[in-house]
Amino acid sequence: MPMREIVIGYLMLLALGFAGTFVIRRECHRLRGLVELRWAFAAMLLALVAMFLRGFVPLVIVSAGGQTAILLGFVFLHLSLARAIQAPHRLFPFLALLLPSFVAALCYFSLVQNSFDARMIVASIGVAIMLAWTARLAMRPVQPALQMPLRWMFRLLVVMSALRIVRFIVTLNVDPNPNLRILDPVQSLLVYLLLLGGLAQAAGTFWISICAQQENDRVRADTDGLTGLLNRRAFEEILLKDLAALGTESVELSLLLIDLDFFKSMNDEFGHLAGDTVLRRVSSVLRHAVRPVDSLARFGGDEFAILLRSAEPGQGLIVAERVLRGLVHMRNLPGNRKMTASLGIATALERDTPVLLIERADRALYRSKNLGRNRLTHFEDDDPPGTDDSVASVLIQ
């Protein structure tokens, strides 16, 4: 198969991908890893230009320069993937060992001992090592939304590494045409598959970058901008989903509402910036108080909500105690004030709705306020609503 036709077709695809990164960057400027992907396309284009210059420039420029450009293309694909999934790549110490050895070996087999076979073996080993390093990156634990595309990327990288090893073996056992203009069928197939694999890796990296951006947008939409907790809309979606599972799963749900005592006066006296700082500190206290199975949200203003899963009233009391103790032990508050909170808890019933459960927890919360604040009130579901006996209040010292 004529090598020139394969290279020209690949060159056009690379040029299209390189130009496409500029268009996509202009439309989706927050997409991570796009700049590194552009450099990967540029490095691959440079490698193909070096191949077309064969016969017009010294061999060392074509072989060492071209193959090094290919390796750098895979390095930039690795960096693009790392940036897309926001993972530390730790690549530069590794490159400090790989790249000089790679270039030195190519120069040796171009200038000192001119061997096409040796250059192909060095190139195959170098790229295979880089692919294996990227496959290691693809195995990192990530958000659930990125697990499936990264699994496919890992499989692709394993296949590409295997193809590089096969080409290494073929080069040892088959005498290729050193002028690289006409390749035997086996070499042609391997080159074709490797070129397709490189394009697939670039496309896969772009796909993962899009998935990561979509996940970030979803998290941003579900997150309170000040505290980093869930916002009310996201919390109510989770609450609705968990309430729907009450009839099918043996799950105990309780809703704990938390309202900071006298926070408005603190906000008015010391300013909103000081109040925002206090809210961020309170959210940190709440994060340490809840269990991993619970859901924590800023419900609005100075009010927070915790969805307690598999929690009997006694367990809810334990969480409430941790919350109140954590708040009381906060230091260096504006005006050296003491932070307390009023809490209300209600246990979910079958066929409950978010509105009904929130209403009961809210009634218990305001009962805590009316009884002197800094306490937990549990809504007693067996008593008729609307009566003073429908709640049981506990002062937390």
Tell me the HSE value of 221 on the side-chain side, using a 13 A CA sphere.
7
DSSP conformational letter for 56: T
pLDDT of 50? 84
pLDDT of 250? 65
pLDDT of 35? 93
Burial code (b: 16+ CB inside 10 Å, e: under 16) for 251-284 equals eebbbbbbbbbebeebbeebeeeebeebbebbbe
pLDDT of 306? 96
The rounded distance, in Å, linking the Cα atoms of 156 and 24 is 24
pLDDT of 288? 93
Largest CA distance in the chain: 96
Q: Could you report the average pLDDT of every consecutive run of 10 residues in the chain (397 residues)?
A: 71 90 85 93 90 79 88 95 89 89 91 85 91 92 89 94 87 62 72 88 94 90 94 94 79 89 89 93 94 93 91 72 89 88 90 92 92 87 46 49
pLDDT of 385? 46
DSSP 323-374: HHHHHHT--S-GGGPPP-EEEEEEE--TT--HHHHHHHHHHHHHHHHHTTSS
Mean pLDDT (the chain) is 86
pLDDT of 311? 56
Going from the N-terminus, what domains does the chain have, and what CATH number goes with each? 3-222 (1.20.1070), 232-395 (3.30.70.270)
Name the amino acid, one letter, at 20.
Answer: G
pTM: 0.77
